[in-house]
Amino acid sequence: MDLFDYTEFDNYVTFQIYSTDVTKINNLRKFICTKFSIYAIDTICVDINTSNLPDEFLAARLSLIPFISNHIEINEYVLTLNVSGIHNLYPSHFVGDIKSCNNDIIIAKLHPTQQISLTASVCLGYGSDHAKWKPVHTCYFTRTGNIFTFYVETTDVIDPFTLIHTSIHHVNTSL
């Protein structure tokens, strides 16, 4: 299985693979989605939430924010958040030793009298365990004859080139 016509854009990549084995192609898609470890919020303890968002909805939004660390040997980080009276709440408002890959994500909009105070545990996990640990937003392929065209939208946690080539190498050597 050889990669050709690789094109990288701002937040997604496209590439083509010539193959007659659909099993390998689907294994490649599954490997890209599930076999890379990334950091995401796992548990949240909400102390104060006077925003319009229920605690469960806030927790669901927070769990889908990807985080990046230079210390892969650390499995868990603790973040705190204590904000009030700001207009837009972003991942950059968290305090801790790990940072979000994308600080442009609006978590919530707060009125001047509203407050959110919480503690979050950020853990290393795999996309096979939960969608919050997937290194990609979208990964699909189309088929025209024996040519498969992939579209992969990354979360910016893992370099797209490394993600694709590591996955292709694994599928080529495992089957």
How many C-beta atoms lie closer than 10 Å to residue 159's C-beta?
12
Residue 36 near residue 126 (C-beta atoms within 8 A):
yes
Same domain, 75 and 161: no
- CATH number, residue 108: 2.170.120.12
Same domain, 84 and 102: yes
- What DSSP line would sit under 83-108, residue for residue? EES-SEE-GGG-BSS-EES-TT---E
Same domain, 43 and 30: no
Same domain, 126 and 48: yes
d(CA 29, CA 88): 36
Burial 96-135 (b: 16+ CB within 10 A, else e): eebbbbbeebebbebeeebbbebebebbbbebeeeebbbb
Same domain, 106 and 49: yes
pLDDT, residue 175, reads: 64
56-87: per-residue pLDDT in tens? 999 999 999 999 987 767 889 999 999 998 78
Same domain, 94 and 167: no
pLDDT, residue 21, reads: 85
d(CA 156, CA 10): 10
Same domain, 28 and 53: no
pLDDT, residue 69, reads: 85
Same domain, 108 and 64: yes
Residue 148 near residue 123 (C-beta atoms within 8 A):
no
d(CA 126, CA 33): 9
pLDDT, residue 19, reads: 81
Same domain, 63 and 26: no
Tell me which residue range forms the domain holding 12. 2-36+135-174
Same domain, 150 and 126: no
Residue 155 near residue 135 (C-beta atoms within 8 A):
yes
pLDDT, residue 1, reads: 77
Same domain, 145 and 162: yes
What is the number of structural domains in the chain?
2
Same domain, 144 and 161: yes
Per-residue pLDDT of the chain (175 residues; tens, 9 = 90+): 778 899 998 878 999 999 878 899 999 999 999 999 899 999 999 999 999 999 999 999 999 999 998 776 788 999 999 999 878 999 999 999 999 988 889 999 999 999 999 999 999 999 999 999 999 999 999 999 999 999 999 988 888 989 999 999 999 888 6
